[in-house]
C-alpha cells in the first residue's frame, strides 16, 4: 500500500495499539495533523507542549503502556524537553514525535529549526532523525520497542516536513532487530543463589523496593518474597504501590522525607535487598554512611545503575519479576519478630500518618481528608514540593500506580497535565491532583484541556501562598532569609469559573470534609482552593550531607 510519511506515522501508531496522543499543531507538523482524522486515534489538544509530554507520561504509567506526544519544529519541540527529561529520569515509556524543517533546510538556521535530536540526546533512551520516508516503518517499530522494553524510557522520532509528504510503499515490520540492544532478563543463577544465602543468614534485613517492581509487574513476586522470609518492605518515592502499604510488613517511604522508622530500619539493617531502585541521593542520604552495617543485594535491569552510588555485595542484572521468581525458589522460610518489633517501636514513637493538632488549617489536613473520604481507593497525582511529601506519607497505597509523581526530575507543574493523561487511561478510577500554588501556576493553562476533554479530575490546591519547600530550606538552613518565596496568585475560584469548571474554597478545618464531598459529587473537573498555614515544614527530614540515622523528626 502506498502512503505518504504522515499516514505511515499514523498507521504505525495504530499498529502499536495507540489510542490516544497528546499534542498541538504547528507549521512543519501540519501534514501529520491533516491525515489524523483518517485514523482511529484520539488526539488531545493541549495548550502547551510541556503539558503534552506530561500527559503522555501520566498516561503511560496509568495504562502501563506507552504514551505518545507530538510537537512541531523549533519552539514546539523544545517545549517538550522538560517532560521528556522527567520521563527519562522516571523510566517512563514515552514516544515523542516531532516534525522538523525540510531536509534541504536542516543546518541552515531555517525558520523554527532546531537540532532537537542533539538537544534531547542526554535525556532520551534513544532518538532518531528520519531522512528518508522508506525508513519510517522500521524507525517507528524500533522506537516503541526501545521505549517499552528493558529499562523503559522516552524515545524521540524527528521527521522533516518533506519526509512527511513523501510517498512510499508501506509495510509494518513484524520483528525488531537492533544489534547491540539486548536487555538482560534472567539474572545470573549463581548471583541469585548468593543473594538467597545472604537473605537466609540475615538477622535485620530490609527490602527497598523501587519503581522497577511496578515496571516489571512484580508485585506478587515481591509480596511472596516478603511473606516467605518475613523481611520488612520499605519503598522509594516511585516504588509506592509496589507493595500494599496496609500489609503488616510494610514500613513506608525511605529517604529525605521518608518515615523516620523506615530510615532507622535501613540505617540499622544488616542486609539491604534493593529491588528496581537506582539509589538516588534522595534515598541514600550521605552515600558514604548509607546502611553502614549492611551488605547490599541490588537487583536491576540496568547494569549502569548497579554500583553507581552504593557499594554492592551481590549485583544481579535482570528483570525484577524474572529474578524474584528464581529468588523465591532459593530462599528459606523465616521470620524476624524481634527486628519487626523494633521497627514497629520506632513507628509508635514517630508515626507518619498522623496530622498534628492545630486550631488553623494545616496543609496536611486536606490531604489526609481526601484519604479518609476515598478510603484510599483513588489515584493521587502529586506535584512537587511539600504537598508531594505529605501525599506520600498520609495515604496507604495498596494498588500499583495509585501514586504518580515526578520523582527524579522533580518537575513543578507536572501534576495537572499528568493527571489528565492518567484519567484518560483510567476513566473509571477516581483521580485527585495534589498540587501547590507554585506548581499550579506553571501549567494551569491545561485546565482548558481538562474542560475540553471532560475529564473528572479533582484538584486539591494546597495554597500556602509561598514556594513551600524552598521556604523550608530558607527557614532551616538560611537563617530565615525568605527571598523570592512569598507567592501571590489569582482568585482561584474565579479562575476556575473563567475556565468553566467548578471552583470551591476552604479556609477552616470544619469546611474541609464537606467541600471534598461536594467535589466528589460534582461532574467534571473541580478545583478546590485550600488556603492553609504558610509556616509549616515537612518532617521527617534528613539534613543535607547527613545519614539516614540522623533524620530530623520535627
By DSSP bridging, strand 233-235 and strand 205-209 are parallel
Q: Taking a C-beta distance cutoff of 8 angstroms, is the pair 68, 13 a contact?
A: yes
Cα–Cα distances in angstroms (integers) from residue 394 to residues 143, 297, 336, 355, 512, in the given order: 38, 29, 27, 8, 16
Q: Taking a C-beta distance cutoff of 8 angstroms, is the pair 436, 468 a contact?
A: yes
- φ, ψ at 141 (rounded to 5°): -60, -45
* Cα-Cα-Cα-Cα dihedral sign, residues 300, 301, 303, 305: negative
- φ, ψ at 60 (rounded to 5°): -60, -45
By DSSP bridging, strand 295-300 and strand 167-169 are unpaired
- Which residues, other chains included, contact 175 with Cβ-Cβ below 8 Å and sequence gap of 6+? none
Q: Residue 540 and residue 430: Cα distance in Å, rounded?
A: 29
Mean pLDDT by 10 residues, the chain (554 residues): 96 98 98 98 98 98 98 98 98 98 94 97 98 98 98 98 98 94 96 98 98 98 98 98 98 97 98 97 95 98 96 98 98 98 96 88 98 97 98 96 98 98 98 98 98 98 98 97 97 98 98 98 98 96 94 90
Task: Give the pLDDT score at 227.
Answer: 98
Q: Which of 9, 69, 58 is nearest to 426 (CA)?
A: 58
Q: Residue 147 and residue 124: Cα distance in Å, rounded?
A: 9
Task: Give the pLDDT score at 293.
Answer: 97
Task: Give the pLDDT score at 352.
Answer: 83
Q: Residue 57 and residue 529: Cα distance in Å, rounded?
A: 26
Task: Give the pLDDT score at 400.
Answer: 97
Task: Give the pTM.
Answer: 0.97
Task: Give the pLDDT score at 237.
Answer: 98
Task: Give the pLDDT score at 1.
Answer: 85
Task: Give the pLDDT score at 554.
Answer: 81
Task: Give the pLDDT score at 216.
Answer: 98
Task: Give the pLDDT score at 269.
Answer: 98
Residue 515's H or E segment, with its range, is helix 509-521
| Unique residue bearing C-alpha cell 495498596 | 398
Task: Give the pLDDT score at 353.
Answer: 77
Cell numbers at 14, concatenated: 495504530
* Cα-Cα-Cα-Cα dihedral sign, residues 224, 225, 226, 230: positive
Residue 297, strand partner residues: 273, 314
Q: Which of 383, 16, 2 is nearest to 168 (CA)?
A: 2
Q: Residue 363 and residue 527: Cα distance in Å, rounded?
A: 16
For the stretch 219-255, what's the b/e string if a residue is b when 16 or more beta carbons lie within 10 angstroms of its beta carbon? bebbbbbbebbebbbbbbbbbbbbbbbeeebbbbbbb
All domains of the chain in start order, with CATH: 2-169 (3.40.50.970), 189-349 (3.40.50.1220), 364-531 (3.40.50.970)
Cell numbers at 550, concatenated: 540522623
Task: Give the pLDDT score at 42.
Answer: 98
Amino acid at each position: 500500500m502506498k502512503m505518504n510519511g504522515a499516514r505511515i506515522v499514523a498507521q504505525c501508531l495504530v499498529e502499536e495499539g495507540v489510542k490516544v496522543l497528546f499534542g498541538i499543531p504547528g507549521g512543519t507538523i501540519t501534514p501529520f495533523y491533516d491525515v489524523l482524522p483518517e485514523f482511529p486515534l484520539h488526539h488531545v489538544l493541549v495548550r502547551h507542549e510541556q503539558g503534552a509530554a506530561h500527559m503522555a507520561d501520566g498516561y503511560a504509567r496509568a495504562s502501563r503502556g506507552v504514551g505518545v506526544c507530538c510537537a512541531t519544529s523549533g519552539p514546539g519541540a523544545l517545549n517538550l524537553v522538560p517532560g521528556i527529561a522527567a520521563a527519562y529520569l522516571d523510566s517512563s515509556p514515552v514516544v515523542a514525535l516531532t516534525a522538523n524543517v525540510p531536509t534541504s533546510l536542516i543546518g541552515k538556521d531555517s525558520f523554527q529549526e532546531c537540532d532537537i535530536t542533539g538537544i534531547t540526546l542526554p535525556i532520551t533512551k534513544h532518538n532518531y532523525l528520519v531522512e528518508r520516508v522508506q525508513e519510517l516503518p522500521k524507525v517507528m517499530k524500533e522506537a516503541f520497542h526501545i521505549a517499552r522494553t528493558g529499562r523503559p524510557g522516552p524515545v524521540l522520532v524527528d521527521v522533516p516536513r518533506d519526509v512527511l509528504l513523501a510517498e512510499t510503499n508501506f509495510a509494518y515490520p513484524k520483528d525488531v532487530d537492533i544489534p547491540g540492544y539486548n536487555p538482560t532478563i534472567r539474572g545470573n543463577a549463581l548471583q541469585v543463589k548468593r543473594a538467597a544465602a545472604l537473605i537466609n543468614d540475615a538477622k535485620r534485613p530490609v527490602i527497598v523496593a523501587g519503581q522497577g517492581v511496578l515496571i516489571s509487574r512484580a508485585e506478587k513476586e515481591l509480596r511472596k518474597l516478603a511473606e516467605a522470609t518475613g523481611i520488612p518492605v520499605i519503598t522509594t518515592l516511585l516504588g509506592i504501590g509496589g507493595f500494599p502499604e496496609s500489609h503488616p510488613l510494610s514500613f513506608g517511604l525511605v529517604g529525605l522525607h521518608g518515615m523516620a522508622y523506615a530510615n532507622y530500619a535501613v540505617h540499622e539493617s544488616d542486609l539491604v535487598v534493593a529491588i528496581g531502585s537506582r539509589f538516588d541521593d534522595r534515598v541514600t542520604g550521605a552515600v558514604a554512611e548509607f546502611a553502614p552495617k549492611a551488605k547490599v543485594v541490588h537487583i536491576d535491569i540496568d547494569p549502569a545503575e548497579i554500583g553507581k552510588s552504593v557499594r554492592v555485595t551481590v549485583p544481579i542484572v535482570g528483570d525484577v519479576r524474572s529474578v524474584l521468581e528464581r529468588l523465591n525458589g532459593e530462599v528459606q522460610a523465616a521470620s524476624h519478630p524481634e527486628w519487626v518489633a523494633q521497627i514497629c517501636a520506632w513507628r509508635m514513637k514517630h508515626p507518619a500518618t498522623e496530622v498534628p493538632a492545630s486550631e488553623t488549617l494545616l496543609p496536611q489536613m486536606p490531604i489526609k481528608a481526601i484519604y479518609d473520604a476515598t478510603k484510599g481507593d483513588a489515584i493521587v497525582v502529586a506535584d512537587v514540593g511539600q504537598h508531594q511529601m505529605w501525599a506520600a506519607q498520609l495515604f496507604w497505597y495498596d494498588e500499583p500506580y495509585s501514586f504518580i509523581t515526578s520523582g527524579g526530575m522533580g518537575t513543578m507543574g507536572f501534576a495537572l497535565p499528568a493527571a489528565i493523561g492518567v484519567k484518560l487511561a483510567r476513566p473509571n478510577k477516581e483521580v485527585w491532583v495534589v498540587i501547590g500554588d507554585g506548581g499550579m501556576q506553571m501549567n494551569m493553562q491545561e485546565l482548558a484541556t481538562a474542560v475540553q476533554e471532560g475529564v473528572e479530575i479533582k484538584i486539591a490546591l494546597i495554597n500556602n501562598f509561598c514556594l513551600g519547600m524552598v521556604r523550608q530550606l530558607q527557614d532551616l538552613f538560611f537563617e530565615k532569609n525568605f527571598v523570592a518565596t512569598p507567592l501571590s496568585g489569582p482568585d482561584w475560584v474565579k479562575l476556575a469559573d473563567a475556565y468553566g469548571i467548578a471552583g470551591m474554597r476552604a479556609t477552616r478545618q470544619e469546611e474541609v470534609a464537606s467541600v471534598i464531598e461536594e467535589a466528589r459529587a460534582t461532574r467534571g473537573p473541580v478545583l478546590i482552593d485550600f488556603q492553609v498555614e504558610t509556616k509549616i515544614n515537612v518532617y521527617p527530614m534528613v539534613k543535607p550531607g547527613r545519614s539516614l540515622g540522623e533524620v530530623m523528626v520535627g
